[in-house]
Amino acid sequence: MKAPLFLALGFGCMGLTQAADLFVTSGSSVQAAIVSASDGDRILIGPGTYVEQLDLLGKAIELIGTAGPASTIIDADLAGIAVRMTSGEGPGTVLRSLTVTRGSGGFGPGGVVTNGTPLLEDCVIRSNVGRLGAGVSGSPTMIRCRIENNVSSLNHGGGVYGAPTMIDCVVRGNRCTGAQGGGLYLTGGTASLSGCQILYNGAVLSGGRGGGIAVHSSATVTIDRCVIAGNLASGSNAGAYAGGIWATPSTTITRSTIAFNHLGAPANHGGGIYGAASLVDCIVYGNDLPQMEGGPTATYSLIEGGAPGAGNIDDLPMFWDEANLDLHLMAGSACIDTGDPNSPLDPDGSRGDMGALAFDASYLPGPVVECTAAINSTGQGASMGYSGSWSLAANDLVLQTVSCPTNSFGIYFMGADPLMQPVTQGFLCINGTLTRLPVSQATPAGFMELPFDHQALPAGGPALLAGSTWRFQLWYRDFGSLSRFSDALAVTFVD
């Protein structure tokens, strides 16, 4: 294995060495750079997939993906824990702009394991397996991270386990089996979630409780401006509890939306929330019935079906797009300017709204996923997503797809009209004239992406205008001679 290239930037006064930047390129070892590093150093990791397991060794250093998480991947190859920070690492230990994938913890966590307070920023923790936090465990601070598609078998916390501080994070598509907390299991300290989205997670099989979040009695939890939606708890004949959140009296939820969560058992309890949490300025709507059980209290909140408490209402929230969980408020919603008058003002200076997403008259919906992906040799369907924006001026949209076969090739194509036509490779999701984009290749972790430059479309391609909607789909090779279609991404472009 090649040694990493590193460079000391200089020396300070009195013989003290300044912090150095160590450069690691594809084919070199990130762990070797960690061993060489000293407190205060930065390890700058170039684009590539690094098949290794990392231990930060208690050092106050920064690991930075120079090309962003989509292009800089730590892949543990299911050989063990992907990233260890178990020597008391504090805020000076940082992971930034990295994807951590395919960690395997056996009877413990698999992805990122901490027992201190390190910082994870702009990272993706994806497709790890284990127990007690397959994705992330411990009490790190996470900012703008995505925790997705991790699985905890027969134990708690599909995505996260512990007492983290999370700001503007997405916890999506994680699962625990026979246990609690499909997305997060909060325990053992003070946890804080702010501006987060907890979506499409599941606590399944016997004992499943808290599809989105489960809170243990040892935790003190504050949740503010979060969306908890589309999660599932399923159980045995004893019943399913808390499709959205399993809470305790030490759980405080403010300015949040708990919506369209589900239960799956003969006896159901608390489709949205179960437990004696305190809710202020919230929306609880569209969950499986009963929406709330276990003694939660609410004030200045929209509770479908009604609930006692000052300022509570029972009305239609008027979400922008319920089917795709776009839970922004539309003009005329009863939730606008009806929050607690003592709560913080909204960004426009008006009285606070109910729910996680304050009304914004200039809001336009972002890209949404349509149609259905064909199941491929990974056992999953290749699912479309994106990074960047849908602004024509910015021209920074990146088409992304997860759960592709390892190193597979594919072609993104685009068209204007929706379709859901069964074909041998799945569903063709776009109708009319189609424009093919350049060939792309998946990483070993099954992630494929293509920067979309609307100013460099093939000859004869469409001219994109503000307000027009275009759909994107991926056709890709599976093993052997097979090919498959992903689902589709619909994008309405703006200036």
Q: What percent of the chain has pLDDT over 90?
A: 81
How high is the pLDDT of residue 10?
A: 39
How high is the pLDDT of residue 236?
A: 67
Q: What is the pTM of this model?
A: 0.84
Higher pLDDT pick, 480 / 219 = 219
At 36, is the secondary structure helix, strand, or coil? helix
pLDDT digits (tens, 9 = 90+) for 37-71: 999 999 999 999 999 999 999 999 999 999 999 88
Give the angle subtended at the CA of 144 by the CAs of 143 and 150, to the nearest 5°. 100
At 31, is the secondary structure helix, strand, or coil? helix
**360/348 Cα distance (integer angstroms):** 8
Question: In sequence order, what are the residues at sequence separation of 6 or more whose Cβ sits closer than 8 angstroms to the Cβ of residue 159?
Answer: 125, 133, 134, 135, 136, 147, 148, 150, 171, 174, 182, 183, 184, 201
How high is the pLDDT of residue 295?
A: 96
**417/414 Cα distance (integer angstroms):** 9
How high is the pLDDT of residue 461?
A: 87
Under the banding of pLDDT at 50, 70 and 90, the label for residue 235 is: confident
Please, what is the average pLDDT of the chain? 92
How high is the pLDDT of residue 8?
A: 41
How high is the pLDDT of residue 50?
A: 96
**410/395 Cα distance (integer angstroms):** 22
Q: Which domains does the chain have, with CATH numbers?
A: 21-329 (2.160.20), 368-493 (2.60.40.1930)
Maximum mean pLDDT: which of 199-203, 298-302, 323-327, 401-405: 298-302
Residue labelled with tokens 């090309």:
67
How high is the pLDDT of residue 1?
A: 40
Question: In sequence order, what are the residues at sequence separation of 6 or more whose Cβ sits closer than 8 angstroms to the Cβ of residue 307?
Answer: 292, 298, 301, 314
**466/471 Cα distance (integer angstroms):** 14
pLDDT digits (tens, 9 = 90+) for 236-270: 656 689 999 999 999 999 999 999 999 987 678 99
**Arithmetic mean of pLDDT, 201-208:** 84
How high is the pLDDT of residue 179?
A: 86
pLDDT digits (tens, 9 = 90+) for 170-179: 999 999 988 8
How high is the pLDDT of residue 14?
A: 40
**Arithmetic mean of pLDDT, 115-134:** 96
Count other Cβ atoms within 10 Å, centred on residue 317: 23
Does residue 119 register a pLDDT over 50? yes
